[in-house]
A and B are shown apart, each in its own frame.
Chain A
Amino acid sequence: MFNYIVRKLLGMIPMLLVITFLIFVGIEMMPGDVIDFLIPMDELARMTPDEVNQVREALGLNQPMLFRYFSWLWGIVRGDLGYSMQNSVAVSKLLLDRLPATLELSIAALLISTFLGSFLGVISAIRKGKIADNVLSMAGMIGVAIPQFLFGLVCILVFGIYLKWLPVGGRFLPGKEAFFERLEYLIMPAMVLGISMTAGVMRYSRASMLDSMNRDYVKTARSKGLSEWKVNLFHGLRVAYTPVMVLIGFRLPMLIGGSLVIEQIFQWPGVGILFTDAIRSQNTPIIMSVGLFMVLIVLVSSLLVDVLTAVLDPRVKLS
C-alpha cells in the first residue's frame, strides 16, 4: 500500500509539469497581453511603443516563454507563488482571501450531498419498489435534470425575495463576520449546491446498494442469522459505498476551483470568480497557481479514491 502511494505520488510530477506547461502555452497564445488590461485604453493610446516596452520589461514579459515558465516553476519549488500583475499583491495572499469562502461553501455542499444522498439512496434501495423508492427516484431524476443555476434562481426567488427567510447573496455584512452571523448567508448556496449534487450520490448509492444486496456475501451474512440492519449496514453498504466514494472523489476538485455557477449566482466571493477574472485579464501568476492546485487536487483525489476503494472493498487489491 505504502509503495503504491509513493509510486503514484512520484508519477504525478510529470503530469503536473505537462499540464502546467500546456496551460502556460495556452495563456501565451491568447491575443493581447496583460498590458491591455493593466493600463486604461486612452492612456495606452498616448504611450509611445518605447514606454509600453518599458512596462513589459519591468513585468518581465520580454523574456522568452520557456524562461518565464521555468522561473515560475522555480518560484513554486521555493514556495513563492508570484505576484498578481494587476496590483502586485502576492498571489498567496489573494488565495488566502478567497480560499476560505470556497472551502466553506464546497465542504458544506459535499457534506450535505454525501450524507443526504447516501441515506436516501440506501432507504430507496431497501424499500425498492415501494412508494418511498418511487418518490425518491423521481425526485432524483428531476434533481439531475434541473440546471443548477435555475434551481438557484428559484430558491432565491422563494426563500430570499418572497419569504425573506434568507439573504439573496453575498457572504456577510461588513463588521458582522463571526460564523453564526454569516451562517444565514451560507445556508442557501450550500443547500442549492448540496442538493443538486445529492441526486447523483443518491442514484449511485441506490444502484450499488441494490447490486450488493443480491451478492452472495450478503446472502451469507443473512443466513448466519445477522439482524437485517447489520446485514445492510456492514455487509451491503460497506461494499456498495465504493462507487459512491468514486463519485465523491471526482467532486473533490471543486474544493479548490469552487462552483463557478453558484458563486456567480449568490455573489459568493470565492476562488471561481477570482480565477475567471484572472483568465480574462491574462494575469498569468494567478492562473498558473490556481491551475496548479486544481490539477494537483484532481490527481490527489483520484489517488485517494483508489486507496479508499481498496480499504472499503476487500476484493480490490492495489497494484
Chain B
Amino acid sequence: MSNTIRKTALDRKMDRLLALEEQGQLKTNLKSRAFRKILANKLAVLGVVLFTIIVLLSVAAPLFTKFSSTQLDLRSMLTAPNETHLFGTDQLGRDIWARMLYGGRISILVGFGSAIGAALIGVTLGIYVGYKGGWLDSIILKFSEIFMAFPQIIIILIVMAITKASLTNIVVIFILTGWPSMYRMTRSQILSIKEQDYIQALRAFGIGDLKICFKHMLPNAIGPIFVNITLSTAMFILQESALSYLGLGVPPEVATWGNILNIVNGRFDYIQQYWWLWVPTGAMLTIFILAINFIGDGLRDASDPTQLG
C-alpha cells in the first residue's frame, strides 16, 4: 500500500491552517461566522469602504464643499474643473461637485427609503400571513400578482400626474411596486420554515402567533431579506436615476444623481464638449451601485450556510 496520496490545493490549505492553529497564531476573535465570512470577502470589504465613503461625503456634504446645490451663478456657466469648482459648473453655473454630494443624499435616501418601506410591508405580510395561511393568504397573494402584473410606468406617470412630482411620491410608488417581490420571497421562506419541528413545538407550548412569527421565524429568514433589501436599494437608485434622467422623476429643482445627468439628455453638444457635466456624476452613481452589489453578494454568501468559509 502506498502512503503517497496526492495532496490537492485544498489539502495543502488545510495543512497550513492546521499548522497555524497548532502554533496558536490563528486568532478567531470575531465570534460571528457570518461576520468573519464577510471580512474574508475582499470585494465585500471594498464595497463597504466605497459605500461608507460616498455616504459620508453625502451626509456631511457642507464639510466638503462651500457651494450649495441650487445656487445659480450666471457669471460662471459651464466652467471647466478648476481650484474653486472641483468638477466645474453646469449650464446654470451650479457647482457640479456640490450637486453630486447633495444629490447623493436624495438618491441614497430614495433608494434606502423605498427598499426599507417595501421590506416592511412585504416581510411583515409574508411572515404573518404566510404563517397563518387560509383565505387571507390567498387574497394577499392575488393582490401581489395584480401589483406585479401592473405596468410600472403607468403607475408612475399616473400617480405623478395626480399628485405632482415629488420625492415622497416617487418613494411611495417604488414601495407600491416593490413590496410584492419582497412578500413572495419571505412567504416562500416561511412556508418551509413553518413546517419544521421547532415551530410545531412552539405552537404546542401555546406560544402566541405574533411571537412565533417575529421572534422565532423572522431571525431564521433574515439572511435573504437583508440581501434583498441591499439589492433592491441598488435597483431603486438605478430606477430613480433613469426616471429623472428622462425628466419623469423627482422635480427638476431637487438635485439627485439622475437629475444632474438630465442636463445632457438629448444634448450631444454638451456630452461632447463638457465632459464634467456627466462623467463624474455617472462614475459616482456607478461606483455606488457597484459597492452596494458587492455588499449584497457578500451578505448572500455569508448568510448561506451551504457555502463553506
CB distance from A56 to the nearest CB of B (A): 19
Report A138 CB to chain B, min CB distance, Å: 9
Whether the pair B150, A295 counts as a contact (CB closer than 8 A) is yes
Q: Give the contact stretch, choosing among A81-89, A140-148, A174-182.
A: A140-148
Cα separation A147 to B260 with both chains bound (whole Å): 14
- How many CB-defined contacts (below 8 Å) exist between A and B? 104
Contacts of B249-285 to chain A: CB distance below 8 A: 261, 264-265, 268, 271-272, 278, 282, 285
Q: Is the CB of B151 within 8 A of A294?
A: yes
Q: Number of B residues contacting the other chain (C-beta, 8 Å)? A: 36
Please name 25 pairs of A and B residues whose Cβ atoms are closer than 8 Å in the assembled complex, sorted by A: A23-B158, A26-B159, A27-B158, A29-B162, A141-B290, A142-B290, A144-B289, A145-B234, A145-B289, A145-B293, A146-B286, A147-B282, A149-B241, A161-B272, A257-B151, A260-B153, A260-B246, A264-B246, A276-B157, A279-B153, A279-B157, A279-B158, A279-B161, A287-B154, A294-B151
Task: Choose one: B159, B272, B285; the contact of A150 (CB below 8 Å).
Answer: B285
Main secondary structure of the interface of A (DSSP, over half): helix
Least CB distance, B291 to chain A, in whole angstroms: 9
Q: What residues of A have a CB within 8 angstroms of the CB of B271 in the complex?
A: 153, 156-157, 161
Per-residue contact bits, chain A 283-303, to B (CB 8 Å; 1 contact, 0 not): 000010001001100110010
B148 contacts the other chain (CB 8 A): yes
Residue in A150, A153, A299 whose beta carbon sits within 8 Å of that of B149 in the complex = A299
Q: Tell me how far the C-beta of A14 lies from the nearest C-beta in chain B, rounded to whole angstroms.
A: 9
> Contacts of B285 on A, CB cut-off 8 Å?
147, 150
B150, A156: Cβ atoms closer than 8 Å: no
Does B294 interact with chain A (Cβ within 8 Å)? yes
Interface of B, secondary structure class, is helix
A66 sits at the interface (CB 8 A): no
Chain B contacts for A299, CB-based, 8 A: 149
Q: Count residues of A near B (Cβ-Cβ below 8 Å).
A: 40
Contacts of A294 in B (CB 8 A): 151, 154
Could you say which residues of chain B place their CB within 8 Å of the CB of A153? 264, 271, 278, 282
Q: CA separation between A271 and B293, bound complex, in Å?
A: 32
Q: Is the CB of A150 within 8 A of B261?
A: yes
Give residues in A with beta carbon < 8 Å to B. Answer: 15, 18-19, 22-23, 26-27, 29-31, 141-142, 144-150, 153, 156-157, 161, 168, 253, 257, 260-261, 264, 275-276, 279-280, 287, 291, 294-295, 298-299, 302
Given contacts A30-B158, A149-B242, whether A295 and B151 have CB atoms under 8 Å apart is yes
Contacts of A291 in B (CB 8 A): 151, 154
Selected from A15, A29, A149, A279, the residue in CB contact (under 8 A) with B154 is A279
Q: Is the CB of B241 within 8 A of A147?
A: yes
Complex CA gap A294/B264 in Å reads 30
- Point out the residue from A22, A27, A144 that lies within 8 Å of B150, measured CB to CB: A22
- Which of B157, B159, B271 has the most A CB atoms < 10 Å from its CB? B157
